[in-house]
Structure 1
C-alpha cells in the first residue's frame, strides 16, 4: 500500500468539522467513533513503517536459509488482521459518507 495515495491521517480526521443539522447525528458519538478511527490509522501507519523497515532489512541481508529470515508469526494471521481493519474502515466510510461514496 502506498501511503502517498492516502487522503487522510490522524490529524486530518481530528481536525475535520461537520456542519450541524437539525436532525443530524449525536456529535459526541461521532467524535468518539472518529477517535477510534484515528487510533486505527495511527496503528496502521506504524505497522506500515515497521514493515517497510523490515522489508529493507531483509533486502539487505543475504538469504542463505529462507526459513531463518521469516518472522515466526503465521502469514495468514497478519493478512486476516489487515483484511479486518480494511473491512471495518470500509464499513465506517459507508456509514459516515453514505452509499454514494462507497460506489465511487
Structure 2
C-alpha cells in the first residue's frame, strides 16, 4: 500500500457532510460510525509511521543475527548404556541368548 494512493485523511472523513433525504440514515448513527472509522484510520496511520521509522533505523543500523553452530553428530559411543542393555538382555532372554549374540 502506497501512502500516495490514500485518498482520505481523518480530517476529510470528519468534515464530510452528507445531504439529507427523506427516510435517510440516522445521522447520529452515521456520525458515531464515522468517528470509529476516523479513530481506526488515525491508529493505522500512526502504526505505518512507526513501522517506517523502524524500517529506516534498521536500514541504517542492521542488526547482526546471532550465528548458531551446526549440531555436532554424537559419534561417541556410550559404553555404560550398552553395558546396561546387555545386562537387560541377559535378564530378559537368559544367559544363552546373550552368549550366542557375542
TM-score (norm 1): 0.61
SS of the equivalent of 1:52 reads helix
Aligned residues: 67
| Distance in 2 (alpha carbons) for counterparts of 1:29 and 1:62 | 48
Q: Which has the higher helix share?
A: 1
Alignment of 1:7-86 (within 5 A): 7-65=7-65
TM-score (norm 2): 0.62
Runs of 4+ in 1 over 4 A off after TM superposition: none
When the two chains are superposed, the root-mean-square deviation of aligned CA atoms in Å is: 1.6
Higher relative contact order (CA 8 A, sep 6+): 1
| Distance in 2 (alpha carbons) for counterparts of 1:10 and 1:38 | 5
Q: Any gaps of 5 or more consecutive residues in structure 2?
A: 68-102
1:58, CA displacement in angstroms? 0.6
| Distance in 2 (alpha carbons) for counterparts of 1:22 and 1:2 | 39
Q: Any gaps of 5 or more consecutive residues in structure 1?
A: 68-104
Q: Select the structure of larger CA radius of gyration.
A: 2
